[in-house]
C-alpha cells in the first residue's frame, strides 16, 4: 500500500485542524484513523479506502468548513492531487457523507469500509475521551453542563437533533448512550460495551454528587 499518500493525508489534516479546539481536532481524526484501521483489519475491509476516508472524514465538516461541506471540496482536492481514481474518490466521499450521527435518520453505510469508519468515529464519541469531548463541545458552544429541569429528548430525527440546544448531560442520553447499539461491526460492539459502562458509571457518580448523595 502507498504509505506516502497516508503520510500526506496525516499532514493535511494536521494543518486543516490546527486552530480547532471544539472537539474536531487533529487528534480526534488521528484516533479515528487508528481505530478504523484496527477494525478494518478484523473485518477484512480495504485498508486504503478506510484509512483515507477516516483521515478525511471531518475536513469538510459543516461546522468547520460550511462552504466546502456539500461537495467535500477539500477532500476531493486532496485525493485528486494524489491521483486517486474518480471511482475511489466517489466511494470515499460516500463514506464521509454517511458517517455522521443524525438521530433516527442515521444511516448504516453501504460498504464494509464505511461501516468501519462510522464505528471508529462513534467510538471516539464515547468512553473517557467521549466525556472530555462532550464537555469541550458544550463549553465551546456555551451550553450549560446540567439542568435537572431540562429533560433529554430521545428518538429525535436529523432536523430535531441538529436544531436542539440542550445541556451537555442531556447529550449523553440524546446521542452517546445510543451509539453502542448502532455499532456495525462486532469488533466495535465489544469496545463500545466497555466504554458505555464507563460513561454510565460516570453519569451516575455525577448525578449522585449533584444530588448531594456523595
Binding site for Ni ion (CB under 5 A): 58, 121
Comparing C-alpha atoms, which of 4, 113, 112 is closest to residue 51? Answer: 113
* In the complex, minimum distance from the CB of residue 125 to ligand ADP, in angstroms, rounded to a whole number: 4
Nearer to Ni ion (CB atom), residue 58 or residue 113: 58
Q: CA 184, CA 187: separation in Å to the nearest integer?
A: 9
- Which of 137, 173, 202, 206 forms a contact with ligand ADP (CB under 6 A)? 137
Nearer to ligand ADP (CB atom), residue 71 or residue 85: 71
Please give the grid coordinates belonging to residue 120.
Answer: 471508529
**Which of Ni ion, ligand ADP, none sits in contact with 180, Cβ below 5 to 8 A by type?**
none
Q: Is position 72 an interface residue for ligand ADP (rule: CB under 6 A)?
A: no
- Which of 56, 130, 131, 180 forms a contact with ligand ADP (CB under 6 A)? 130
Residues 6 or more apart whose CB falls under 8 angstroms from that of 2 comprise 48
Please give the grid coordinates belonging to residue 135.
Answer: 464537555
Neighbour tally for 141: CB within 10 Å: 12
**Which of ligand ADP, Ni ion, none sits in contact with 72, Cβ below 5 to 8 A by type?**
none
Q: Say how many CA atoms lie within 13 Å of 187 toward its Cβ.
A: 18
Cβ–Cβ under 8 Å, residues 102 and 118 = no
Three-class SS state of 196: helix
- Which of 133, 156, 169, 192 forms a contact with ligand ADP (CB under 6 A)? 133
Q: Which of residues 139-198 bind ligand ADP (CB under 6 A)?
A: 143, 166, 168, 171, 175
Q: Which residues bind ligand ADP (CB under 6 A)?
A: 23-24, 100-101, 121, 125, 130, 133-134, 137-138, 143, 166, 168, 171, 175
Amino acid at each position: 500500500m502507498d504509505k506516502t499518500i497516508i503520510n500526506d493525508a496525516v499532514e493535511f489534516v494536521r494543518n486543516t485542524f490546527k486552530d480547532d479546539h471544539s472537539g474536531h481536532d487533529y487528534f480526534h481524526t488521528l484516533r479515528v484513523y487508528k481505530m478504523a484501521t484496527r477494525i478494518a483489519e478484523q473485518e477484512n475491509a480495504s485498508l486504503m479506502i478506510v484509512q483515507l476516508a477516516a483521515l478525511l472524514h471531518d475536513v469538510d465538516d459543516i461546522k468547520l468548513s460550511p462552504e466546502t461541506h456539500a461537495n467535500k471540496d477539500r477532500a476531493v482536492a486532496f485525493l485528486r492531487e494524489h491521483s486517486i481514481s474518480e471511482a475511489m474518490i466517489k466511494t470515499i466521499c460516500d463514506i464521509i457523507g454517511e458517517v455522521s450521527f443524525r438521530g433516527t435518520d442515521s444511516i448504516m453505510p453501504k460498504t464494509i469500509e464505511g461501516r468501519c469508519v462510522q464505528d471508529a468515529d462513534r467510538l471516539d464519541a464515547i468512553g473517557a475521551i467521549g466525556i472530555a469531548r462532550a464537555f469541550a463541545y458544550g463549553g465551546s458552544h456555551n451550553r450549560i453542563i446540567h439542568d435537572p429541569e431540562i429533560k433529554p429528548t430521545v428518538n429525535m430525527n436529523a432536523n430535531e437533533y441538529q436544531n436542539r440546544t440542550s445541556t451537555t448531560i442531556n447529550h449523553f442520553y440524546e446521542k452517546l448512550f445510543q451509539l453502542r447499539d448502532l455499532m456495525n461491526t462486532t469488533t466495535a460492539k465489544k469496545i463500545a460495551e466497555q466504554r458505555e459502562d464507563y460513561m454510565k458509571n460516570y453519569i451516575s457518580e455525577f448525578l449522585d454528587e449533584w444530588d448531594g448523595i456523595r
